[in-house]
């Protein structure tokens, strides 16, 4: 080794007395802050609404299979390769449904974030 590299100390800004300088805001900062708060809360509401819709749809599908089997006894008696149809529906068919729901959720969430970025870049 040729020597110790020089260390750099990063500190917060200090005033003349050595105390940390207070943050001063202006009227412009308050306007930008309230506008950006509105955009962020709008994004959060849209993401929450999207999550509720996707979760509700998935739960309805998941609970719909047992209800369908309960309402139709002939469907409950069906077997494929000696495996009951309701097991195949819940154990095998739900995975593609979950993957599709997750993919759609990610696309819609990404679209929401892109709209948010477009709004904040314009202002």
What is residue 25's three-state secondary structure?
coil
**Global pTM?**
0.62
Query: For 62-119, how does the pLDDT look when each residue is reduced to its tens digit (9 = 90+)?
Result: 888 888 888 888 887 888 888 888 888 888 888 998 999 999 999 999 999 998 888 8
Burial 57-89 (b: 16+ CB within 10 A, else e): ebeeeeeebeeebeeeeeeeeeeeeeebbbeeb
Q: CA angle, corner 13, sides to 11 and 19, nearest 5?
A: 100
Mean pLDDT of the chain: 81
Mean pLDDT, rounded, for 5-21:
65
Mean pLDDT, rounded, for 29-51:
82
Between 3-12, 27-36, 59-68, the lowest mean confidence (pLDDT) is in 27-36
Distance of alpha carbon 45 from alpha carbon 42, whole angstroms: 5
What is residue 84's three-state secondary structure?
strand
Q: Percent of the chain beyond pLDDT 70? A: 76
Distance of alpha carbon 103 from alpha carbon 54, whole angstroms: 11
Mean pLDDT, rounded, for 16-37:
60
The DSSP code sequence of 30-64 is: HHHHHHHHHHHHHHHHHHHHHHHHHHHHHHHHHHH
């Amino acid at each position: 080794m040729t020597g110790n590299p020089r260390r750099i100390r990063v500190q917060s800004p200090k005033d003349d007395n050595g105390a940390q300088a207070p943050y001063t805001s202006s009227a412009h900062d308050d306007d930008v802050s309230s506008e950006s708060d509105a955009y962020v809360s709008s994004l959060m509401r849209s993401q929450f609404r999207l999550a509720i819709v996707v979760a509700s749809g998935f739960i309805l599908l998941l609970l719909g299979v047992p209800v369908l089997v309960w309402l139709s006894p002939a469907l409950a008696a069906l077997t494929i390769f000696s495996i009951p149809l309701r097991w195949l529906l819940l154990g095998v068919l739900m995975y593609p449904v979950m993957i599709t729901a997750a993919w759609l959720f990610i696309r819609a969430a990404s679209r929401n974030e892109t709209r948010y970025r477009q709004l904040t870049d314009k202002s």
